[in-house]
Amino acid sequence: MHYCDDSLYDETLTLLEADFQYYYDCLMGPNARSVLAALKRIQPLTIGQIATGHGPLLRHHLADWIERYRTWSETQAQAEPFVVIFYAAEYGFSERLAHTIGQGLLKTDTAVEVVDMLDTDTQTVRELVTTATGLVLGMPPQTAPVSLEPILSTILAAAHPKQAIGLFETGGGQDEPIFPLRNRFQELGLRAAFEPILIKTTPTEATDKLCEEAGTDLGQWVNRDRTLKQSKSLDSDLGQALGRLSTGLYILTAKKGDISSAMLASWVIQASVQPPGLAVAVAKDRAIESLLHGGDTFVLNVLEEGNYQRLMKHFLKRFGPGADRFEGIASYAAENGSPILAESLAYLECTVTHRLEAGDHWIIYCTVKAGRVAKPVGLTAVHHRKASNHY
């Protein structure tokens, strides 16, 4: 806990409870299964004192503190499906890639356990792999201070056909071969969450984006049952009534450095007159979301009624991680660098100024810097829905 007063020990439990739980919720809760494994390992020990490193020494209420960690972790571990990411710390770019894949998973509200293969044991690995919905494995070094063969063998032995698997190279120069291991998982019946990520040079921002999108794809698969259940839980009358809210049709495009992305958008409104501004609702698990933070720029392309089907069909496709969203689509660069679609009715160049969290979406507010109508007599394409649980 982050707590400081004049007491060296935990004499007064009630003074510490709130900070103790806050620290758990922020830092330990996301690793609940690892906490349970650690508690299991220390169970045979006779514990006289716990030095937390961030607060008073724990001595007077040890059984209470430990039981709270156990109870919270069991609740957290049972509540949701999760993905375990195995990597080798301080080897190649393993930690960086594992982190960015994890970020993609978190965008889908998927629980993540990150495990350093150089600092774990086969019992912990077996427990995590057996209960995980998805597995991600960074290729470990063929030569390591500690042999990793028992860890890899345990992962293969505990994996089962109901899981999805993703593999990535770490670029350390002595990686275990990725494709023989992929073939082993395929023989066991695991579904490939994404194509193996191959690292031949130093990772770039484009590599990070590829890894993030791979994590998001895996997270969407892991949560498919929950997503379907939530979509069916909305009252039919309410869902149909919300579905009657008509909207325009737009393609939002963005480019940042070497990274570009796009999405079909329909939840768009003008939000201010001075300065000219608009708001766009973007689902949290959209690939383009990470390009729409404060100061980022994008183009809102307005689609034309009677001339939008091709663009709509193209951008509704499911793109693989790192895929070029603009292949086969005529475009040219706006002043802010983002693509303007040649077939659009009009376009607006925008700069993000605020983000508001709204349930499963972000509300992106931006100021409009420039715009142009390509076809003055054209009308904006309008989107009509029958239900609110899909676009």
**pLDDT tens digits for range 39-80:** 888 889 999 999 987 889 999 999 999 999 999 988 877 767
| Span 174-231, pLDDT tens digits | 888 999 999 999 999 999 999 999 998 899 999 999 999 999 999 999 988 776 666 6
Distance CA 259, CA 321 (A): 12
Helix (H, G, I), strand (E, B) or coil at 186: helix
> Which CATH code is given to the segment(s) 236-383?
2.30.110.10
Calculate the alpha carbon distances from 306 to 249, 250, 373, 382, 383 in Å: 12, 14, 16, 10, 12
Higher pLDDT, 251 or 147: 251
Query: Of 247, 245, 353, 339, which is closest to residue 301 (Cα–Cα)?
Result: 339
pLDDT at 288 (0 to 100): 94
167 strand-pairing partners? 137
347 Rama sector, left if φ>0, alpha if ψ -120 to 50, beta otherwise: beta
Angle at 139 between CA 138 and CA 143, to 5 degrees: 135
Q: How many CA atoms lie within 13 A of 351 on its CB side?
A: 9
User: Tokens 């994590």 sit at which residue?
Assistant: 215
CA of residue 130 relative to chain centroid, distance? 22
pLDDT at 26: 83
* Percent residues over pLDDT 90 in the chain: 69
Q: What is the largest CA-CA distance in the chain?
A: 81
**Residue 231: what pLDDT?**
64
List, in order, residues 6 or more apart from 121 with CB less than 8 Å away.
Answer: none
Cα distances (angstroms) measured from residue 237 to each of 234, 384, 388: 9, 16, 10
Q: Give the tens place of pLDDT for each residue, 229-274.
A: 666 666 788 888 888 888 999 999 999 998 999 999 999 999 999 9
The type of residue at 88 is A
DSSP state of 24: I
Mean pLDDT of 319-325: 91
Q: Evaluate if residue 145 carries a pLDDT over 80.
A: no
pLDDT of residue 234: 67
Distance CA 48, CA 282 (A): 51
193: which DSSP letter? S
Please report how many Cα atoms fall inside a 13 Å half-sphere around the Cα of residue 343, on the Cβ side.
18
To which residue do tokens 């998927």 refer? 110
Which 8-state DSSP code applies to residue 206? Answer: H
Distance between CA 219 and CA 110 in Å, rounded?
6
Q: How far is CA 10 from the centre of its chain?
A: 38
CATH 3.90.79.10 fits 81-228, yes or no: no
Distance CA 388, CA 244 (A): 8
Query: How many angstroms separate the CA atoms of 387 and 381, rounded?
Result: 19
Taking a C-beta distance cutoff of 8 angstroms, is the pair 102, 215 a contact?
Answer: yes
Residue 12: its H or E element: none
The pLDDT score that the predictor gives to residue 60 is 93
Quickly tell me which residue has 């350390």 as its tokens.
172
Q: What is the structure's pLDDT at 243?
A: 84
Burial (0-12, 13-18, 19+ Cβ within 10 Å), 99: middle
Share of the chain above pLDDT 70, in %: 96
Cβ 118 vs Cβ 62: under 8 Å: no
Q: Are 98 and 113 in contact (CB under 8 A)?
A: no
The pLDDT of residue 230 is 63
**pTM of the complete model:** 0.77
283-301 confidence digits (pLDDT tens)? 999 999 999 999 999 999 9
Residue 390, pLDDT score:
65
Where are the chain's structural domains?
A: 13-78, 81-228, 236-383
- Give the span between the Cα atoms of 291 and 132, in whole angstroms: 30
Q: Are 348 and 299 in contact (CB under 8 A)?
A: yes
Alpha-carbon gap, residue 40 to 30, rounded angstroms: 18
